[in-house]
Structure 1
């Protein structure tokens, strides 16, 4: 198992390591001791006992080429130096010149699966008689003990992450089943009821068919949202069909007209300044915008206008939807973009609670971000993404 020390959540996560260093210093009289994560790229202190004022603390990094631990990494064998100045191998090495030590011992730390983790080192500014079998055996024993604790802590961290992920998935499944069972059942029952009535009273078709069509459209919208949710959570995210769009403003204006027609009592003020072409999936951007407008209609003050702004510059596209109304509590902000979240205690008639989640996923798919600010006077959702996507990273 290969785990970087950062993933083990700093040296404080494994307090036994500092106790090992205390014993090392006490038994050898070496005043500086450290357990370090060592890779081809860097040396990072995991636990430190500094009695010589070197100034290193847990989490500090050093260029690996400036350390003798690099030799331990390459050879997988200990390095023991009684007196650097008379040592033919290390007298001219950069490490004692930089860190001012004369005696030094370092042994490799191998995790239980054989992976090289780092080193257990101890040094002192004065020479010490370290090249003894019993000292080396003791250091090897302490290195094995350190490996055990690092491995155990790493496994614990992994288990906690797995447990948290499974708990989240379990809660999500429960929400999914409850919401799906309730929200899809309503339009389905409406369709079924209308169909039964048509069988008994065909002459009422003109009255009943529009209701059936509305219920069918609502079910289609719910299913579409669920498909997007599944792509975002279970697949590789929302897939885009990008094109260079020169008429994105017309698409946004069409969404505004549709919402105004559906809600004739609501006012929507727009300010569009789209002077640059945008490489995007215009259908998905329209979906994002529609979701934000629907949210503003649902939660905004019906007596105040909804303010829509969209603009471009040479690098980015920005779209914002603002509404007056009660502010969103700060502690609720990060939950707004989670699936099945419903702000303000709204009932299921307002949908599955996936609108903002899907809008956020669309922004992310465009290499952008959907953010919210909310004060006593205004709640504003803002989407911003680059007008040209970045090329995919090479692995």
Structure 2
């Protein structure tokens, strides 16, 4: 876990609601995998995971940032929403959904007050899911602000 500091791990663990946020994310989206990640220039690191899908990503697992859709989010700072990857005009030919076998995916940035992107709140499933609705996006945005504010406060007190 070279890209995740002890302080960041502790702060995420201190967010008592982290596991509830991930569980609520899966219930809200009807997807079976959700994670909070940290992103660096080179890596995506799993900070917290709720995996009913048996997707195989565990806390501390790292992926090269180029091997994730989150890399696009880090650069654009806008959510990525895919309801049905194999039918999506942008993602039907994208190698990542095919390689990892998912149809639905959503990812929102976790941003500090100074604009720095810490990571993402993301969810995915092998089945298509209806995601494009204002209530879902609003609740997931609230979750990311809660996580970002908590991590930002912890970062400023170290």
Per the alignment, residue 60 of structure 2 pairs with: 59
Per the alignment, residue 83 of structure 2 pairs with: 82
Larger helix proportion of the pair: 1
- Please tell me whether the aligned partners of residues 104 and 128 of structure 2 are also in contact (alpha carbons under 8 angstroms): yes
Structure whose alpha-carbon radius of gyration is higher: 1
The 5 Å alignment of 1:265-284 reads: none
- Please tell me whether the aligned partners of residues 8 and 151 of structure 2 are also in contact (alpha carbons under 8 angstroms): no
The CA distance in 2 between the partners of 1:15 and 1:95, in whole Å, is 32
SS at structure 1 position matched to 2:5: helix
SS at structure 2 position matched to 1:5: coil
Cα deviation for residue 16 of structure 1 reads: 2.8
The 5 Å alignment of 1:148-167 reads: 148-156=149-157, 158=158
The CA distance in 2 between the partners of 1:126 and 1:68, in whole Å, is 18
Deviation string 1:114-169 (CA, Å, 9 cap, x unpaired) is 2111111011110011011221122111110110122233344x1xxxxxxxxxxx
The CA distance in 2 between the partners of 1:38 and 1:152, in whole Å, is 18
Per the alignment, residue 5 of structure 1 pairs with: 4
* Residues 1:7 and 1:112: Cα distance change in structure 2 (over 3 Å): farther
2:113 is aligned with 1:112: yes
Q: Gaps spanning 5+ residues in structure 1: where?
A: 159-395
- Please tell me whether the aligned partners of residues 66 and 94 of structure 1 are also in contact (alpha carbons under 8 angstroms): no
TM-score, normalised on structure 2?
0.89
The CA distance in 1 between the partners of 2:156 and 2:19, in whole Å, is 20
Deviation string 1:242-280 (CA, Å, 9 cap, x unpaired) is xxxxxxxxxxxxxxxxxxxxxxxxxxxxxxxxxxxxxxx
- Please tell me whether the aligned partners of residues 105 and 122 of structure 1 are also in contact (alpha carbons under 8 angstroms): yes
Cα deviation for residue 9 of structure 1 reads: 4.7
Per the alignment, residue 94 of structure 2 pairs with: 93
- Please tell me whether the aligned partners of residues 39 and 73 of structure 1 are also in contact (alpha carbons under 8 angstroms): no
- Please tell me whether the aligned partners of residues 16 and 149 of structure 1 are also in contact (alpha carbons under 8 angstroms): no
Larger strand proportion of the pair: 2
* Moved >3 Å (runs of 4+): none
TM-score, normalised on structure 1?
0.37
- Please tell me whether the aligned partners of residues 81 and 105 of structure 2 are also in contact (alpha carbons under 8 angstroms): yes
* Residues 1:153 and 1:58: Cα distance change in structure 2 (over 3 Å): farther
* Residues 1:121 and 1:139: Cα distance change in structure 2 (over 3 Å): same
The CA distance in 1 between the partners of 2:53 and 2:120, in whole Å, is 19
Cα deviation for residue 66 of structure 1 reads: 1.2
Per the alignment, residue 19 of structure 2 pairs with: 18
Deviation string 1:350-376 (CA, Å, 9 cap, x unpaired) is xxxxxxxxxxxxxxxxxxxxxxxxxxx
Cα deviation for residue 18 of structure 1 reads: 2.1
Q: Gaps spanning 5+ residues in structure 2: where?
A: none
The CA distance in 1 between the partners of 2:130 and 2:99, in whole Å, is 22
